Structure 1
């Protein structure tokens, strides 16, 4: 490894490193001690349930396209229990890998954004009423796409300007479908309307700025973008994990609510504590600690050296090394 300043690299004895690791473990920084085989079994089970829920969402979209009626009871009884179950799984990094969409993107996307948004809501300590509205609204955030013509929705190439304008109308279509359903809180409809709005006013459909955007819609915006960037579609190759979270960190100020985004990034990175990573200089190491205010600038152990990425700004995590997950 190329040496830089002494403040960025600290050589420790084996005893000191062991003591530090003990301190981290006692503080619950390394939280997941579940055997890998048990993790895999849980993920296989939830992945199947997500696949089934995604197929059900396809049927629901078809019903909405034909009738204009959103079957709320079916969604609450069949889809939301799967989302809530997935959001209870503690193996966040593995779970997010399973959420990647590889086919039928539109329908799987709705389920996965529901899961990611529910997790964020839990991390923000939303009360149960808000969390319920968030889970339902996130699952229905793209329901307006049921009104978008299939030749636009499933077009493999770049949309024309007219097609793109029509695609953006899914936010308004969804709001109109949901706003008058008696058993729904208006915030559920606002999620459909506002999840493409951005903090700086650069979003759509109304170019709203931060103070005018519902907090639940801000949460779903983050889940929506994370899953979209992480998933393969006909016209978009899935971005690697480190590229996705790096880009999202770059957008902390301007596009997304910084408080919500930092919580999201911290919890993802904190789930990687104890995992091996490849650094941008080619060195491999293990994540020991994550700073809540700079989640990507972790403390890394390489050999008998500690590398603090907060102090070495020219170094970054290039890839997560995982023997049981390919292509991360």
Structure 2
């Protein structure tokens, strides 16, 4: 299968991977032949990329880090809990009004069990082919990425539980922000942005007294927009004043926001998002965390179409864990644009003179 931007998908192409609805259930199954109306509908729902069947790459298997059961329960749990919280005025909440701690701890157990089976895997995009409200899927994505990175960084299971809960609930304060503000397509006014920034305080106030929720989880919600140089909010904390978990979540939150479709722009691909994150190394984000993230992220996801410095084009079919930016590429077009049968592959970790110079026919920054 191949991972194509929706702009390159044509009627008659067949899906190579399922598309899920807002409940985490299958909406369109594998091998469904796409029509023009289906493609328009996917575009309207914010789907920017889909996996397409291609006989030359039909041996590729894109393994999800979460089982369908876990993903479905997670989206349902996040959605239902956040909607209940949205209906509750936080200033009037009592400790017994909403007890999300028990259900979210059970959910974290399921997530960690699934992720522990893939702890050495490269982190692939989690939001491709999912039709969902941004807040719910974003919360799950940040949890998946943060937990995987915590595993790679040697955190204990107890630490991973707290980090994962902090990631799941980092944006819970946005349930108190008007939807029309969160979904505004035009540039926010200074007053509107100031109001949105209050979601960190709203989240802290809600979580700090919740039963079965560690206080550190509340601080993750409070601090995930703080930055090393003090340029973040709400308190302008610097360096070690920001908890380690919040620094992880802040980094991952930024990455997922960039690689997810938003009402005001299309999703970026991982290599584009990582270029932006690296510009903040040492000022916004920890150097060690950025480097570990870089080493665990599939910068060029399996199935993506790349152009090589030789002029040949192909599809990424395997990843090299030690050098993620130099994957294995199956050649589909020669330098003259002639179609190939897909029988030849090139391992860029060994062919050091060959570089990836384009992704989906767009140039890659040197």
TM-score (norm 1): 0.71
Listed one character per residue, the Cα deviations across residues 214-265 of structure 1 (whole Å, up to 9, x for unaligned) are 0001111122112111111221210122212222233323211111111111
Counting only pairs closer than 5 Å after superposition, residues 1-328 of structure 1 correspond to structure 2 as 39-40=61-62, 43=64, 46=67, 49-67=70-88, 68=90, 69-77=98-106, 79-88=107-116, 90=118, 92=121, 95-98=124-127, 102-269=131-298, 277-279=306-308, 282-283=311-312, 296=325, 298=326, 306-308=350-352, 318-319=358-359
Conservation of the 8 A alpha-carbon contact between 2:223 and 2:234: yes
Structure 1 residues 163 and 272: CA distance shift in structure 2, 3 A? closer
Conservation of the 8 A alpha-carbon contact between 1:230 and 1:238: yes
Conservation of the 8 A alpha-carbon contact between 1:47 and 1:98: no
Listed one character per residue, the Cα deviations across residues 53-107 of structure 1 (whole Å, up to 9, x for unaligned) are 2233121111112234352212222x32443244235385574245675430011
CA distance in 1, matches of 2:69, 2:58: 18
Structure 1 residues 264 and 47: CA distance shift in structure 2, 3 A? farther
Structure 1 residues 194 and 303: CA distance shift in structure 2, 3 A? closer
The alignment partner of 1:278 has SS state of strand
Conservation of the 8 A alpha-carbon contact between 2:66 and 2:111: no
CA distance in 1, matches of 2:312, 2:267: 25
Structure 1 residues 249 and 317: CA distance shift in structure 2, 3 A? farther
Which is richer in helix? 1
Count of residues paired in the alignment: 278
Listed one character per residue, the Cα deviations across residues 107-149 of structure 1 (whole Å, up to 9, x for unaligned) are 1111111111000100100122211110111100001111112
Which gives a bigger RCO, structure 1 or 2 (Cα 8 Å, sep 6+)? 1
Structure 1 residues 236 and 124: CA distance shift in structure 2, 3 A? same
CA distance in 2, matches of 1:267, 1:72: 29
Structure 1 residues 282 and 250: CA distance shift in structure 2, 3 A? farther
CA distance in 1, matches of 2:158, 2:113: 17
Q: Which runs of 5+ in 2 are unaligned?
A: 1-56, 91-97, 330-344, 362-366
CA distance in 1, matches of 2:86, 2:298: 39
The alignment partner of 1:43 has SS state of coil
TM-score (norm 2): 0.64
**TM superposition shift of 1:300:** 7.9
The worse-fitting range, judged by mean Cα deviation, of 156-165 and 214-223 is 156-165
Structure 1 residues 307 and 84: CA distance shift in structure 2, 3 A? same
